[in-house]
Amino acid sequence: MAASWLELSAIATTILIFGLYYILSLPYKTIIDPRNRHRQSHAHLPDLLQAPHKPHHQPRILLVTAHPDDECMFFGPSLTALGHAGIKVDILCFSTGNHAGLGTTRRAELTRACTLLHIQTITCLDNPHLQDGAPWCPHRIATLLATHIGLHRCTAILSFDGHGVSGHHNHRALYHGVKLHVADTGVPAFALVSVPLWRKYIAHVDVCLLPAGAIAFVASPEHVRLAVRAMKEHRSQMVWFRWLYVWLSRYMVVNQFVRIGGGDGVVRRRALFSTLQQCGTVRHRMTGDASSTPS
């Protein structure tokens, strides 16, 4: 009798879990329905990426990443959607990911992945001051950004927010560098929103947690498969836990953005102070007086 009760409990629990999973998946199923394809970009992000004061100018988006594989691990929904819409995307990767001595391999993997994603302009830097894992100076990042954007005439930037999704300090430094560039030039820039750990690994279920009016891309199953294929080109990085990431991460399905410099509220002044300290821009110790922090 006890065994039968255990079996019934197991069956009931299984039904409950699958029922809950199905219900939470309904928003995603609604968005990817062919009749609702236009909703894959909740806020029509391509319309927000026009060149300033040039409403009819063809947008050219610059994706700013820290390491080869960032483009697939974190920005797959954006790249596949923008590519499908015929919007040109460039990638500026600030390092070769040479932390384990695989820089040459990883640079080649980045090229192969971008070929699958139909991205033709790829710049992978190997600057001695911007090595994988070392502290990066936001001012140096901003200077290199200005050079690249001036050369390629990019009209907008996509990159990480102040937490960098995974908390990696290279990701976070990019945010501060982009923010400095935006302050100088006013170029439109959007930061990929970091979410709490429990939301990172619920895949497409996270769609039901998107706020109303979010600037977001939601990938169709076809686009998810394309991003996974591109990620698999980064063979040197495909250890067991990255396979789990690929199949469970919401960043393979959903990209939500906030405008940088538009009251995004992603990074507090203390975080910016800490980052600037790393490159020697700020040398004095911060006190409780807000006037001692950089603006």
In the sheet with 60-65, reading across from the earlier edge strand, the strands are 121-124, 88-93, 60-65, 156-160, 189-192, 254-259, 215-218
Q: Is 115 helix (H, G, I), strand (E, B) or coil?
A: helix
Q: Is the pLDDT of residue 293 over 80?
A: no
> Tens of pLDDT along 21-43?
666 666 666 666 555 555 554 44
pLDDT tier at 133 (50, 70, 90 boundaries)? Answer: confident
pLDDT of residue 106: 96
Q: Given 3.40.50.10320, 3.30.70.2190, 3.30.360.10, 3.40.50.300, which CATH number is that of 58-275?
A: 3.40.50.10320
| % of the chain residues with pLDDT over 70 | 74
Q: Which residue would you say has higher pLDDT here, 288 or 67?
A: 67
Q: Is the pLDDT of residue 2 over 70?
A: no
Q: Is the pLDDT of residue 292 over 50?
A: no
Average pLDDT (212-239) is 92
Average pLDDT (184-198) is 94
pLDDT tier at 16 (50, 70, 90 boundaries)? Answer: confident
Q: Which residue would you say has higher pLDDT here, 114 or 53?
A: 114
pLDDT tier at 52 (50, 70, 90 boundaries)? Answer: low
Q: Is the pLDDT of residue 287 over 50?
A: no
Lowest mean pLDDT among 6-10, 172-176, 224-228: 6-10
| H-run or E-run covering 98 | none
pLDDT tier at 74 (50, 70, 90 boundaries)? Answer: very high
Residue with tokens 């192969």: 112
Q: Is the pLDDT of residue 210 over 60?
A: yes
- Provide CB contacts within 8 A for 79, sequence distance 6+: 63, 71, 89, 117, 119, 227
Neighbours of 183 (CB within 10 A): 12
Lowest mean pLDDT among 135-139, 204-208, 286-290: 286-290
pLDDT tier at 141 (50, 70, 90 boundaries)? Answer: very high
Average pLDDT, the chain: 81
Q: Where are the beta strands (DSSP E) in 189-289?
A: 189-192, 215-218, 254-259
Average pLDDT (124-141) is 95
Q: Is the pLDDT of residue 174 over 80?
A: yes
pLDDT of residue 271: 40
pLDDT of residue 265: 41
pLDDT of residue 36: 52
> Tens of pLDDT along 263-280?
444 433 334 334 444 444
Residue with tokens 């836990």: 241
pLDDT of residue 189: 94
Lowest mean pLDDT among 138-142, 207-211, 219-223, 274-278: 274-278
